[in-house]
Amino acid sequence: MRILIDINHPAHVHYFRNFYKIMTDKGHQILVVSRNKEIEHALLEHHGIPFVSRGKGKDGKIGKFAYLLYADWVLLKISIKFKPDLFLNFLHPYPSHVAKILGKKSFVFSDTEHAALHHKLTVPFATKVFTPSCYRLNLGPKQIRFESYMDFAYLHPNYFIPDPSVLNLLGVDKKDKFVIFRFVSWEAAHDFGHQGMSMDNKRKAVKLVSEHAKVFISSERNLPEDLEPFRIKIPVNKMHDCIHYASLVFGESATMASEAAVLGTHAIFMDNDGRGYTDEEEKKYGLVFNFTESINDQEEAINKAVEILKNPDLESESKTKREKLLSEKIDTTEYMIKIVEEVENNN
């Protein structure tokens, strides 16, 4: 079977990298096409996945519309040459557009309810849209729900074994508490209108948390001079090891909050829209704590971080919560393989 996987964000590399390896080993021909927005290409190279680049993309509404036309055209040319039987991607429109033009199947995964524009541009053209069971929206007859999260495509114990040597890179001991702060750029299409945490409260959070744990900051934006010394300095492929050993993840990234949860690390997530999966990770498993971007909620989030770090039973509670989560969720990569092989068997 010939499969084209299109990558539009660094997280998408992780979603499909195990699928790529397993299906390639089974003899399927897979072509990966990738945007080069941040570190997608570096991640693909690290995992030994060959790819074709489709450029860096654009910022702003006009720029993103221009890139939509450009990416459709580039992907169409690539697809005419490769002749895929199936297009596979996480929610963005280009592969489904091209699949529709060529009369091929397009399978799309999504877990981001508030990406309204991407839904409008993608769902009408896709063959099927796969979402976690906790997804808030009903996308119609094309939607198929599965009992897991996207994170379990790469952080399931079938694939991920944490590397303790990352602690040496961080300069911490296994018994030491440390916190990862994650600040995003708010430049994605679904982030228009968001402000995130104020700089004053970022400084306050770092100051108060530093009294209980060592602080590392991962930021898509430049940091002010006083926060720059906290910037985490590790290879891009070591972040998940850091999250596993961290006492807490704090910030504006839904992906990183959920990654923390499935690795048994508590997380604080701030976003006005929230996500179905972080809601479930809070209400059902107690591993994520969701807050809005309001000034009051920012203060509450900081207080919650300090409360979590003061808990003497934090490590044992984290382990128990993760065991429950693992017992109730499936391996997402196995699920991807199953649905794609069903396509092959039905042809």
Q: What is the mean pLDDT of residues 293-300?
A: 96
pLDDT number for residue 56: 80
Question: Residue 267 and residue 271: Cα distance in Å, rounded?
Answer: 13
Question: For 21-45, what is each residue's pLDDT tens digit?
Answer: 999 999 999 999 999 877 899 999 9
Which residues are within 8 A (CB) of 106 and not within 5 positions of it... i.e. 6 or more apart? 86, 87, 88, 89, 95, 96, 99, 100, 125, 126, 127, 128
106 bridge partner residues = 87
CB half-sphere exposure, 77, CA atoms < 13 A: 8
pLDDT of residue 99: 98
Q: Rounded to an integer, what distance in angstroms lies between the CA atom of residue 112 and that of residue 128?
A: 16
How far, rounded to the nearest angstrom, does the alpha carbon of residue 289 sit from its chain's CA centroid?
17
Report how far Cα 51 is from the mean position of its chain's Cα atoms.
20
What are the structural domains of the chain?
A: 2-157+331-346 (3.40.50.2000), 166-328 (3.40.50.2000)
Nearest to 137 by CA among 5, 277, 255, 18: 277
pLDDT at residue number 320: 97
Write the CB contacts of 124 (distance below 8 Å, at least 6 apart in sequence): none
pLDDT tens digits, residue range 160-198? 999 999 999 999 998 999 999 999 864 544 444 557 799
The stretch 206-221 carries a mean pLDDT of: 94
DSSP per residue over 49-100, as a string?
A: ---EE------SHHHHHHHHHHHHHHHHHHHHHH--SEEEEES-SHHHHHHH
120-162 pLDDT tens trace:
999 999 999 999 999 999 999 999 999 999 999 999 999 999 9
Pairing of β 178-183 and β 266-270: unpaired
Give the Cβ contact number of residue 84 at 10 Å: 24
Parallel/antiparallel/unpaired status of strands 105-109 and 29-34: unpaired
Choose among 151, 120, 313: nearest CA to 244.
Answer: 151
- The pLDDT of residue 115 is above 90: no
